Amino acid sequence: MNFYDKKLREAILEGAAKLPPLLEKQPTWSVRRRPSGYWALCKDGEYYETTGLNEEAQAKSFLEAWKKQQEAELDGVVDVRRSSATAIIEHRIKMVKKKQLRSAGVIVSTLKALKPFVEGRQLRHLNDEWLDEAEEGMCELYSRTYFTNAIYFFRTAIRGWCRACSSAAILPFEAPPREAGRKIVLHKGQRDRVMRWSGGTEDYDAKTGKWTPIEQGLSMNEENCRQVTYRKMHLGLTFGSRPGVYECLGWEPNEEGGHLDLDAGIFHRVPLGASTASNKLSPSVPIPPQALAEYARWREADAGSPWVFRNLDGSPMHQRRQQEIFSESMEALGIPNMTGHILRHTAITMMIEMGETAAAISAVCGISIAVLHRVYDHSDNRAVQRLALGSMDRMMR
């Protein structure tokens, strides 16, 4: 066989390979009335499943639609609108890891946080109403920035899924606007309001700004809610930690979470020996003297309880419940949209305003210097400028 005959034969074989199997027997579908009066779908004459219909015309119409669905499945034709939203996220996570993207860790963790809000839904169910529900839920647990990032990552996941299915991109919901910048912080007046409320027996009217004594006193649940709110604020503003480190936070080492080692004066954010992802650093950090004295009072007041945040039955309080209490309390105090992440942002912002170096803030808060430069527009200029204060004073001598 010469070269040209060989190439001709290869072309003929390639064309033949594209034809459907000539001898493969496809199943024969039909409908048959059952003794119950309902029509059943039959495969090669054998009962397959009931149609749930008792009229012959409807059953035959059902049969034709079923045949078309089987042909579409055989040819790989799919309606991406009926794709599982969870499957879309899992596909994107798999692709991100496979491609070893630089931001893979952030994308994967953010999409995993979104998964509970798409569970049981298809792509066609993700309308603007769903978007509002997801925003409310994610902002309560995390922050609006986290929610916005999740939606943008999800839209990229949908585009990738549609390409994999040889379909045009279908995006059933609008992308939320990105925030202009991190402007929300907890101001001193608001902090003082929380401290007065948490340590007393007064109610605050957010509309009038007036305080009213509670004559009957506080219930055990109210006392615990005020304690959780105050402790979450104090720890958040002191260390700028991510809210997740307060789950199972104890007074002694434990396998589930971090602990406040008051004897050594160190806050261990995660269990001893545990490691964290490079984008979720949680370094152990010294406890400043004033905070150390405050936490000693907390431990004494806890009367032997092993947990810093706990339910009334003594069990450790999970992060979600902490955030629910914190958000509800802040709302009642006229401080809306306040989350644990905003406390973290407030601490970082205050450190920047006080002239702390990026390296110092990074070491305390567990945030990368790259993020400080990119997100907070932080430079070390102010810290370096302080070194020249002596020379500046001598200029006019």
Phi-psi region of 21 (alpha: psi -120 to 50; beta: other; left: phi over 0): beta
- Two structure tokens written together for 292: 């150390």
Using one digit for the tens of pLDDT, what is the confidence trace for 90-138? 999 999 998 888 778 889 989 999 999 999 999 999 988 898 888 888 8
For the chain, the structural domain boundaries read 32-77, 82-164, 188-384
Residue 383: predicted pLDDT: 73
Helices (H) and strands (E) in the chain, counts: 15, 8
Task: From 262, 261, 264, 243, select the one nearest 253 (Cα to Cα).
Answer: 261
Query: How high does pLDDT run on average in the chain?
Result: 87
Q: pLDDT exceeding 70 applies to what percent of the chain?
A: 93
Amino acid at 80: V
Which residues are within 8 A (CB) of 250 and not within 5 positions of it... i.e. 6 or more apart?
A: 257, 258, 259, 260, 306, 307, 308, 316
| Closest C-alpha among 80, 85, 87 to residue 121 | 85
Look at residue 315 in the predicted model and tell me its pLDDT: 95
Which CATH number does the domain 188-384 belong to among 1.10.443, 1.20.140, 1.10.3470, 3.30.2000?
1.10.443
Q: Is 241 exposed, middle or buried (0-12, 13-18, 19+ CB in 10 A)?
A: buried
Q: What element of type H or E holds 33?
A: strand 29-33
Position with higher pLDDT, 172 vs 375: 172
- Tokens 């979104």 locate to 114
Q: What is the pTM of this model?
A: 0.58
> 126, 172 in Cβ contact below 8 A?
yes
Burial class (CB in 10 A: 0-12, 13-18, 19+), 216: exposed
Q: Express each pLDDT in 178-207 by its tens digit.
A: 655 446 789 999 999 999 999 999 999 988
Q: Which long-range contacts (CB under 8 A, 24 or more apart) does 267-275 make?
A: 267/239, 269/241, 269/245, 269/366, 270/245
Residue 377 pLDDT greater than 80, yes or no: no
Please count the other Cβ atoms lying within 10 Å of the Cβ belonging to residue 339.
22
- The DSSP letter of residue 381 is H
Q: Which of 176, 148, 146, 185 is nearest to 337 (CA)?
A: 185
